């Protein structure tokens, strides 16, 4: 058995990579992938804790996160495709029609 700490450390690393990715990457698709990484880091931690406590609520939570993340993906991709259709460019640095 791998000790639970390893899972938690791994999930913390994944979460940090995801959070940093959101802050420094400029392509919405990559930002979005970083967000998914954050969610999956949480999923990993949840499942690990779930096995420690022999409780299923952690695993149930993971199911919900997966399902809801799929809905989020659908909305996010649709938005990105729409923007690409009107602008032919999806770099967030060039999204500056709103400023003040």
Partner 1 sequence: MTQLDFQTLLPLTILTVWACVLLIVDLFIPKNRKGITAVLAALGLAVTLSFTILQIGRENSGYSGMVVLDGFSTFVNALILVSGLLGIALAYGYVKRMGLERGEYYTLLLFSVVGMMLMAQAADLIVVFIALELLSIPLYVLAAFSRTSAESEEAGIKYFLLGAFATGFVVYGTALVFGATGTTSLVGIVGSASNGTSSLLLTIGAALILVGFGFKVAAVPFHMWTPDVYQGAPTSVTAFMAAGAKIAGFAALLRVFATAFPTLATDLTDILWALSAVTMILGNVVAISQTNIKRMLAYSSIAHAGYILMAFVPYGNKDIMPISIAAGLFYLVSYVFTNFGAWGVVIALEKSEGKGLEIGDYAGLGRKYPALAAAMTVFMLSLIGLPPTLGLVGKFYLFRAVIAGGYTGLAIIGVVTSLVSAYYYLRVVVTMYMKDGEPTTEREPMLDFTTAFTAIVTVVVSLVPQWLFLLASNAVLKLF
Partner 2 sequence: MLLEYIAIAVMIAVATLIAFIAIGLGELLGPKKKSEAKSMPYESGMNPYGEGTRRMPVRFYLVAVLFILFDIEVVFFLPWAIVFRQLGIFGLIEMIIFIVILLVGYVYAWKKGALEWE
DSSP per-residue string spanning 9-37 = HHHHHHHHHHHHHHHH---HHHHHHHHHH
In sequence order, the 6+-apart residues with CB closer than 8 A to the CB of 14 are: 37, 38, 40, 41, 44
1 makes contact, choosing from partner 1, partner 2, none, with CB < 5 to 8 Å by partner type, with partner 2
Q: Residue numbers of the site for partner 1 (CB under 8 A)? A: 8, 11, 15, 18-19, 22, 28, 31-32, 35, 38-39, 41-43, 45-46, 48-50, 52-53, 55, 57-58, 60-61, 64-65, 68, 71-72, 75-76, 79-80, 82-83, 86-87, 92, 95, 97-100
């Amino acid at each position: 058995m791998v000790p639970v700490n390893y899972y938690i450390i791994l999930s913390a690393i994944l979460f940090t990579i995801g959070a940093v990715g959101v802050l420094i990457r400029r392509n919405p698709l990559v930002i979005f992938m970083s967000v998914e990484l954050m969610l999956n880091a949480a999923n990993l931690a949840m499942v690990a804790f779930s096995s420690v406590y022999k409780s299923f609520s952690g695993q149930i939570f993971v199911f919900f996160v997966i399902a809801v993340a799929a809905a989020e993906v659908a909305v996010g991709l649709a938005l990105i495709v729409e923007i690409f259709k009107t602008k032919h460019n999806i770099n967030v640095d060039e999204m500056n029609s709103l400023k003040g």
